[in-house]
Amino acid sequence: MAKKEIDPETANEIKKELAELRAQLESQKKPKKKAAKPKAEPKKKAAKPKAEKPKKPTKAEIAKAKKEAKLAKEKAEAEAKAKEEAAKRTLDDELEEQFSDEQIRNFQIEKMDMDKLTNKVCEIIADFEEKGMLQSDLWKKLKLNSRDGSRLALRLERRGLITREKILQKGRWTYKLIIEQAPIKLESLVDSPCLTCPVEQKCDPENAYPEPSPLHCQLIEDWVTVEFSKKKK
């Protein structure tokens, strides 16, 4: 049987197709490579925020702060003092603000002899000597109300007969009255030897002994001694 000849062009196409088939077969035989996983990038540590250094205050700021602190302290002290003064206020303090010195000196209590009342008040206070007497106790004794009693005390102080001393009594502020000028009692002169002394007209403090003088009179010395012993009893 005669062989059929293949033209060169067809032979080349066949060779080309065979080559492609071999390439496909070889590619199918090779194991498939797993896709490589992308490497995880190492986590970066979060950068800590840098602490800002405190700024040093300027001289002007320091001076301003000191001034404000001083003013705050002075204000607090003034408020504390005001509260303390308010707590100490009494009726007498209010009356002193309401009335002038002239009104206080000329103060009168209706239907009362102010001279007699003044002498009586001074006599009572004089019995307490330098210890003084609470004015509230005195007003009760004289049956005076607080308002009249306080104005009377102010009147006597203006005249220099007494002094008032503010004190804290049972949690309340009040005044203690102290005698300055005790009234003269006629009873103290009744037994005075000078009233019946025969040489009273010649008696003079400038006389030299043995001329009569109150500075070296035995009668006066004896009388004073007796009166003093009576008071001590």
The tens digit of pLDDT for each residue in 33-91 reads 555 566 666 666 666 666 677 778 888 888 888 888 898 888 888 888 877 777 677 77
Domain that holds residue 163: 94-179
The CATH number covering residue 102 comes to 1.10.10
Task: Flag whether 117 is in a domain.
Answer: yes
Closest among 100, 105, 159, 169 to 133, alpha carbons compared: 169
Residue 191 shares a structural domain with residue 154: no
Residue 100 shares a structural domain with residue 145: yes
Residue 101 shares a structural domain with residue 166: yes
Task: Flag whether 81 is in a domain.
Answer: no
Write down which residue in 162, 179, 196 finishes a domain: 179
Task: Flag whether 57 is in a domain.
Answer: no
Q: Which of 60-74, 155-169, 216-230 has the lowest mean pLDDT?
A: 216-230
Task: Flag whether 71 is in a domain.
Answer: no
Task: Flag whether 39 is in a domain.
Answer: no
Report phi then psi at 165, rounded to 5: -120, 120
The residue that leads in pLDDT, 39 or 13, is 13
Q: Please tell me the total count of domains within the chain.
A: 2
Q: What is the mean pLDDT of residues 108-121?
A: 89
Residue 213 shares a structural domain with residue 191: yes
